[in-house]
Structure 1
Amino acid sequence: MDKKQFSYGGQAVLEGVMMRGQHQATVAVRDPSGEIAYKHFPLDVQKRARWERLPLIRGVVLLWDTLNLGTRALNFSAGVVSGEQEAFSKKTSIGAMLVALAFAVGLFFVTPLLLASLSGYLGASLLLREILEGGVRLALVVGYVVLVGRIPEIQRVFGYHGAEHKTVNAYEAGSPLTVASVRHCSLIHPRCGTSFLVVVVVISFGVFLLLGGLPLWVRVLSRVVLVPLIAAGAYELLRLLATHYHRPWVRVLAAPALFFQKLTTREPDDLMIATAIAALRPVLAADGVVVQEKPRDDPMLAVSA
């Protein structure tokens, strides 16, 4: 199986995994009986190709598209786990996504600014206030992930996240897509969204440092308005790092972001790995990629057939 140029990836959902290719995204979710339920989302290849030629803008478009698709995948998984057809309507899902975005911007961008601004009354310099803001932002991100990761259901999501990484790593290494083969692959992947969060924190520090002398209300507004631009910059940087990840100096530079993935991944069990493989296979098939047939002696993949 030859390694393809297209970068496959996905995300963990409730009791399952979504994988995304060029023509299709597939969600594979374990229902309460242990069987796998599937949902396939067709993707607009021509639309993606148009935006791919525009640096920064493509990052904003891809981020919105990823959030939208991820919300739909989570909605489907919640419905399967709860035994319902769909957990939420499309309008409700979009509303939930917008509320989540507003919460994230308020907690991780505006709150650190307001807290760091209080140090100005104690005589803190502009540079110190910006350092404090960046430190508070990083602490909030890490603290939130650690706190949420203590919830049992989220721990299982982190296990499926690990399965998603292992499966993509196996495919990109040219290894067979079997549980036995995928099991030995790395939990870490350079294109992970968790690394994206770390890069956003780093880039935001440099951007907001340039705006430190402006009035507080302008700085608060900038923390909202500039989020898409910062996210686009983070996407471009991660794209560059992933392209040159084979270079030793790039691996050193990316190490902190990759280390952060240890907070959002867990070692998956075999059923989780089989579910991730089951999500990737239809995606590859939709792109015309031929992979090794499922072996008859692999019971985990037999369950997910």
Structure 2
Amino acid sequence: MAAKRRSKVYSGIGGQAVIEGIMMRNGEKYAVAVRRPDGKIEIDAQTHRTFMEGSFLLKIPFVRGMFVFIDSLILGTRALNFSADIYDQEEGKESGTSGNGALDGLLNSLVLIIAVALAIGLFIVLPTYLASVFEKSIRNASLVSVIEGAIRMIVFILYMFGIGFIKDMRRVYRYHGAEHKCINCIERGKTLNVDNVMKSSRFHRRCGTSFMYISVFISIIIFFFIRIEYIPLRIFIRLLLIPVVLGISYEILRLAGKSENFFVYVLTAPGIWFQHLTTKEPDRQMVEVAINSVEAVFDWKKYLADNFGYDIDENGEIAGVLPGWGDDYTGEYYDEEYDEVYDDEAGEYYEDEYSGDDSYDD
């Protein structure tokens, strides 16, 4: 009896949208693929070693999250700088880098610190301060904490909506969608080509948007139990708890990528809803850029052979499915244009809005 092909397998790759391109990472390898104005795709493939490489702290659950977050910010900034330089060169503008490695590193660090400080001010300090205004008329500390949590979530939602109105971000969001589609395509056992990627879901559990939402949600729960009357001290304690919030959020997101646990599903579902704001449908050229980025760091053909029973010929090309593996693959793809789901084998359409778990795979 033929073995049934698995419907989903974690690949371990992840990425980030940049200016006119995508960065994909697989372990220590990462690649930034950028579409130049002349239509050519520029690829920068390198090795990235975390600043905490070899540290035992990276192996401790709920502790490693903070360091992984910082490392992601560092790599993300590097990828954004590369894409910005390519874009500026093609537009005839002066490069954003000075050519001095030490100076560029210092400037990047300064930009990163400012960005983190603004985020802390927006999501930590501002809600705490605004909620404190209600303390003069509301004596119930629990109610004030609830108000603070509500303000924090409202600020997050307004932020998500607000950045979507920035013109340049709209194309970044389309590349973000292309990144998710590529990962969903291969994790569902489909060969990596433009047609298959275009049909895949643009939503994904292991996404930075989901991480942001989970972090805000976890902070609301933790801060609810921290009752300190003196406002400056209250803010200071909240700042000290940021590593705790990030650590818990990271473990939840990590679990979401590998588990079908109902509790995890419910907890991460709103993060998928927010991805309606931060991802948009890409065009075929954007998907082509995403595929180039994936192929620079990930052997997807070997992955399909190992996990989905594909046969690889002597030229390294997909030659079919090995004997003993069934062809009854049951993965579903989301057709956003018609808000429907169709089965990729039989082509049968279902008129209900998409509610399957394909949207949660990144």
TM-score normalised to the size of structure 1?
0.88
* 1:31 is aligned to 2:46: no
Give per-residue Cα distances to partners, 1:46-84, cap 9 Å, x unaligned: 936855421122111110100000000011111111116
Q: Counterpart in 1 of 2:63?
A: 57
The answer for the alignment partner of 1:277 in structure 2 is 291
Q: Which amino acid aligns with 2:188?
A: A
- Counterpart in 1 of 2:173? 158
Partner of 1:107, secondary structure, is helix
After TM superposition, give the deviation of residue 242 of structure 1 in Å: 2.2
Correspondent of 2:22 among 17, 24, 49: 17
State the shift of 1:144 in Å.
1.4
Q: Paired residue for 1:265?
A: 279
Q: Could you tell me which of 173, 183, 193 is aligned with 2:198?
A: 183
Max radius of gyration: which structure?
A: 2
Query: Residue 125 of structure 2 contacts residue 235 of structure 2 at CA under 8 Å; is this kept in 1?
Result: yes
List structure 1 runs of 4+ shifted beyond 4 angstroms. Answer: 1-6, 48-52, 285-295
Report the Cα distance in structure 2 between the residues aligned to 1:285 and 1:252, rounded to whole angstroms.
33
For 1:264 and 1:229, the matched residues in 2 are separated by 26
Cα pair 1:59 1:235 within 8 Å, conserved: yes
CA offset at residue 237 of structure 1? 1.3
Separation in 1 of the partners of 2:276 and 2:294?
A: 23
Aligned to 1:148: 163
Per-residue CA deviations over 1:149-202 (Å, capped at 9, x if unaligned) read 111210000000000000011111121111101001111111011011111111
Q: Indicate the residue corresponding to 2:105 in structure 1.
A: 90
* Contact map agreement 1:23 1:287 (CA 8 A) in 2: no
| 1:225-252 alpha-carbon deviations (Å, 9 max, x no partner) | 221221111001111222213x455433
Deviation of 1:214 after TM superposition, in Å, equals 4.2
Change (3 A) 1:286 1:82: farther
Q: Deviations over 1:20-57 (max 9, x none)?
A: 00130101011221211112230338936855421122
Q: Is the 8 A contact 1:76 1:87 kept in 2?
A: no
Q: Which runs of 5+ in 1 are unaligned?
A: 296-305
1:192 maps to which of 207, 221, 237: 207
Q: Is the 8 A contact 2:127 2:152 kept in 1?
A: yes
Whether the 8 Å CA contact 1:23–1:286 is kept in 2: the answer is no
SS in 1 for 2:45: strand
Provide the rounded CA distance (Å) in 1 between the counterparts of 2:251 and 2:187.
21
**Alignment pair present for 1:73 and 2:79:** yes
Q: Identity of aligned pairs, percent? A: 35
**One-letter code aligned to 1:126:** A
Compute the displacement of 1:120 (Å): 0.4
- Matched AA of 2:172: V
Residue by residue over 1:114-153, the C-alpha shift from the partner in whole angstroms, topping out at 9 and shown as x without a partner, is 0000000112421111111111111111111211111121
Partner of 1:44: 49
Q: 8 Å contact 2:31–2:296 — kept in the other structure?
A: yes
TM-score (norm 2): 0.75
Unaligned runs of 5+ in 2: 98-103, 306-311, 319-362
User: Compared with structure 1, are the counterparts of its residues 43 and 86 closer, same or farther at alpha carbon in structure 2 (3 Å cutoff)?
Assistant: same
Q: In structure 1, the residue corresponding to 2:296 is in which secondary structure? A: helix
Supply the AA of the counterpart residue of 1:74. Answer: L
